[in-house]
Amino acid sequence: MSHRPRLVPPRAVMAGLAILTALGSVAGSAFLILHQPAADAPEAAGTPLSDVRDLTAPVSPFPVLASAPSPSPSQAPSPGADGPVAPTPPRLIAVAREQVGEATLREIAALKDVTKVAVADGGAVRFSAATLNLLAVDPAEYRPWAPKAIAGEPEVWDALARGEFIAESKTAGHYRLQLGGEYEAGGGSRLRVAASAPFGLPGVDGLVTKEVGRGLGLVPGVAVLVHTPASKAASVGSRIKRLLGPGAQVVVIGARRAVTSPPPAARPDTTLPPVAGRPGTSLVGRPGSYLDLYKLSAGVCPGLSWTVLAAIGQVESGHGRNNGPSSAGALGPMQFMPATWKAYGVDGDGDGKADIWSPYDAVPSAARYLCANGGGLGGAKLRSAVYRYNHSWDYVNKVLGIADSYARAYA
């Protein structure tokens, strides 16, 4: 009797998620297990995977910047291969005990208040030293289901179409996945981690194409994504569960409020340089690469090394490759919470506005925020400032370790 792959939570990596989704096999049929951890569940310590090919290159190259920053997701539609992508994020994810047939899919699509339906393959694979839950999708079909900021990143979808692996941001951070690293994925196959992004699907660690999923042995057609008005999600979910039959389970996505960081404590900014806010004036201008931008932005905070900004930029967004929003609501290439941005965001390029999505504004704003917390003083003060940026000492150690690597690489 053949055994289908099980979708089970990787050890500790889903701690803190609103809902943990798992697929399994019972008598040859897939089922879904739901679990709602306590809201204050502690974050587990990161566990590095052991099979990345190049552990000696922790720093990533600096991308070239366009002559003007890309419009933020709130300002313009996301371009797709055949025109703009109109994001319609899923409100429900349902998993049946077996492949969902075409007739059932048509019945789901015909339900009142259902505006869109997509189906995906699913299962778990041994990914080096961990077990990761994967969805296998058609990139063109799935792209509008992604958060707007990710739907507008053609590099992500090109990489997925090439058969590469797109990791969920939390999974990539927990297991310290190296962008560009290749990992064993069972049966002698290897998957290259092309990007990480927050896709907002509870319990899902990454995406592959359906073709790759077939090679990995994922269960075909068991996961159904549904778009419906948020106010109707619960009632629609109940009707879908009845259509899918005994054993099927449905998760309402985003039903619980995400935990967000508190606004920064008020403190005087008398040590900060003047903030440019008028057209024609700028702190950093519009340099042609992230490397130059980090170096210029470090001047906003005397005593702060550009390598610290570069390390934060790598950890937070891969130097603008994955700008969020994060599960906590952080935005832009330096992943600011909106409340923090309101207090510390600056107009870096002199275009008359402080844009959280613009690297020319976000990077000098990060320098300003670090400086307000003692980041230019070095030593313990710098460590404390980085901790204020993201309340985790593991994060502090990771950032400062990458900063040291940048200092050696660009000495």
Give yes or no for residue 312 having a pLDDT over 90: yes
In a domain, 128, yes or no: yes
Q: How far is CA 312 from the centre of its chain?
A: 15
pLDDT in tens, 35-68: 233 333 333 333 333 333 222 335 667 777 754 4
Which stretch of 24-33, 245-254, 307-316 has the lowest confidence by average pLDDT?
Answer: 24-33
226 and 131 co-located in one domain:
yes
Residues 6+ apart with CB under 8 A from 343: 263, 264
In a domain, 285, yes or no: no
Work out the average pLDDT over 145-164.
Answer: 82
pLDDT category of residue 34 using cuts at 50, 70 and 90? very low
Give yes or no for residue 5 having a pLDDT over 60: no
H-run or E-run covering 221:
strand 219-227
More confident residue, 255 or 71: 255
Work out the average pLDDT over 385-389.
Answer: 94
235 and 298 co-located in one domain:
no
pLDDT of 336: 94
CB 271 within 8 A of CB 335: no
Point out the domain boundary residue: 199, 232, 252: 252
More confident residue, 5 or 197: 197
pLDDT of 7: 40
Work out the average pLDDT over 265-282.
Answer: 36
248 and 301 co-located in one domain:
no
In a domain, 10, yes or no: no
376 and 328 co-located in one domain:
yes
Residues 6+ apart with CB under 8 A from 77: 84, 85, 86
pLDDT category of residue 175 using cuts at 50, 70 and 90? confident
Point out the domain boundary residue: 252, 273, 307: 252
More confident residue, 195 or 108: 108
d(CA 358, CA 236): 38
Q: What is the CATH number of the domain that holds 355?
A: 1.10.530.10
In a domain, 28, yes or no: yes
Work out the average pLDDT over 166-175.
Answer: 81
Q: Name which of 119, 90, 92, 85 is nearest 104 in CA terms.
A: 119
In a domain, 258, yes or no: no
Q: H-type helices in 99-202, by residue range?
A: 102-109, 139-142, 148-151, 154-161, 169-174
CB 248 within 8 A of CB 241: yes
Per the structure, the count of domains in the chain is: 2
In a domain, 395, yes or no: yes
State the DSSP code for 31: E
Could you give the percent of the chain with pLDDT greater than 70?
72
pLDDT of 377: 92
Could you give the percent of the chain with pLDDT greater than 90?
27
Helix and strand numbers (H, E) in the chain are 13, 13
pLDDT of 82: 40
128 and 207 co-located in one domain:
yes
Which stretch of 10-14, 15-19, 168-172, 206-210 has the lowest confidence by average pLDDT?
Answer: 15-19
pLDDT of 260: 32
Q: Establish whether the linkage from the previous residue to 338 is cis, with ω within 30° of 0.
A: no
pLDDT in tens, 73-97: 433 333 344 444 566 778 888 888 8
Q: Read off the tokens for 79.
A: 């371009």
Work out the average pLDDT over 331-340.
Answer: 92
pLDDT in tens, 125-137: 888 777 888 899 9
Q: H-type helices in 175-305, by residue range?
A: 210-216, 233-244, 290-298
Work out the average pLDDT over 179-206.
Answer: 80
Residue 210 is part of which domain span? Answer: 20-252
188 and 303 co-located in one domain:
no
Nearest 5°: the CA angle 196, 201, 206 is 40
pLDDT of 38: 32
In a domain, 1, yes or no: no
303 and 195 co-located in one domain:
no
More confident residue, 397 or 85: 397
In a domain, 328, yes or no: yes
pLDDT category of residue 187 using cuts at 50, 70 and 90? low
248 and 294 co-located in one domain:
no
159 and 87 co-located in one domain:
yes
H-run or E-run covering 209:
strand 206-209
Residues 6+ apart with CB under 8 A from 167: 177, 193, 195, 196, 197, 205, 206
Q: What is the mean pLDDT of the chain?
A: 74
Residue 85 φ/ψ, nearest 5 degrees: -95, 125
Residues 6+ apart with CB under 8 A from 40: none
242 and 295 co-located in one domain:
no
pTM: 0.47
Work out the average pLDDT over 260-287.
Answer: 44
pLDDT of 331: 92
139 and 236 co-located in one domain:
yes
181 and 85 co-located in one domain:
yes
pLDDT of 66: 56
